[in-house]
Amino acid sequence: MGVTSDPDHCTRRRLLRATGVVGAAGAAAAFGLGGSGSGVAQNESADSNASNETGGPAESEVGSEYAAVYRDTIDSVVLVTVTGTSGPGTGGGGLGTGFVIDDEYVLTNNHVVEAAREGGIELQFSNEEWRAASIVGTDAYSDLAVLRVEDMPEVASGLSLAESEPIIGQEVLAIGNPLGLDASVSQGIVSGTGRSLPSPTGFSIPAAIQTDAPINPGNSGGPLVSLEGEVLGVVFAGAGQTIGFAISAALANRVVPALIEDGSYDHAYLGVGVQPVGPEIAAEIGLEEATGVLVMEVVPDGPADGTLQPASTTRPGSGDVIVAIDGQAIPNQPALSSYLALETSPGDTIELEIVRDGEHQTVEVTLEERPEAEQPRTPIGGPREEPPTTDP
């Protein structure tokens, strides 16, 4: 049920601030943003916060594009507070960000809410109203979660996930609650696209957006928006002062409807481990240029078993190199992961162009549903996955 801010909530917020609650699962070192950070409530209006945070004039006096985007979106961005299974202050709870996508649902990161106990998620909106939220669906592989709010505040309206691809160099704003500082905005550009990010599941998160907009603990789950107010991505993590990452709207547009409808999302699975093809490998295999991915491992009884041949340590130059899928060039592992994530579904039969023993040929593989995630292998913020990887 929805409730407005009251003394009990204020007491709880003071407790969170005093104890410095750390983030829910997933917040760690270099990518350690997650839903974490010691908190302060969204206890000022959006307008007063925008004018006071930088010490400059109010946004109505500035009239900048940034102020306009902030004004148009902030009422849809929420502070996510989580009481975990271990209780506040013991590592079982935390803070993060989310944003409204329609009159019932809020989108955030899975790692922000995955440790929440039943009834342990509360949202605070820019007008200081509080609402309880329940989990509708989660997907650890894309690190997305959809929450339901029974009585959405009137000030909040759904933000739109962009249908078009972001352009490298375009300006963006990250809106959220970094370090628990409510209703904050930071500005930057799209620094890169199609990034492959390490994940606790052992499978990377594909098609991610890189930005130089400052990202800090507590930003996770918030929107990365264009100057047109469209959500280009869901903020995921930061790796330094000028490097942050967001889950692309392209991936979210595939995953979110399934989370709302079924509570889960089925990812396509090829069942191979691959590594990049560098000049040395290209020369050994007989490729004219260093492109594609070398199959280093084929998962037994997986979709590619019996169709693709892995490299052998005793046979230099052996192993299939995947250079295209359904006519789409695959120059590297991120491109392979992105294609499978954005263009295919379990049960699809794909045509792979491969190079085997120096000869080009095509083979067909019918994709299956990705197996359930094992225990975490690479924590968020941990080292890059080293080849071979079984991502696809």
Catalytic residues: 111, 143, 220
Number of C-beta neighbours around residue 258 at 10 A: 15
Buried b (16+ CB within 10 A) or exposed e, 84-116: beeebeebbbbbbbbbbbeebbbbbbbbbbbbb
Please state, in angstroms and rounded to a whole number, the distance separating the CA atoms of residues 77 and 53. 17
* DSSP conformational letter for 154: T
Please name the residues in contact with 334: beta carbons below 8 A apart, sequence gap of 6 or more. Answer: 194, 195, 196, 204, 206
DSSP helix/strand/coil, 49: helix
Q: Read off the tokens for 107.
A: 């989108």
Distance of CA 154 to the CA centre of its chain: 28
Q: Read off the tokens for 11.
A: 């007491």
Handedness of CA 331, 333, 334, 340 (dihedral sign): positive
CA distances from 209 to 54, 169, 206 (A): 27, 12, 9
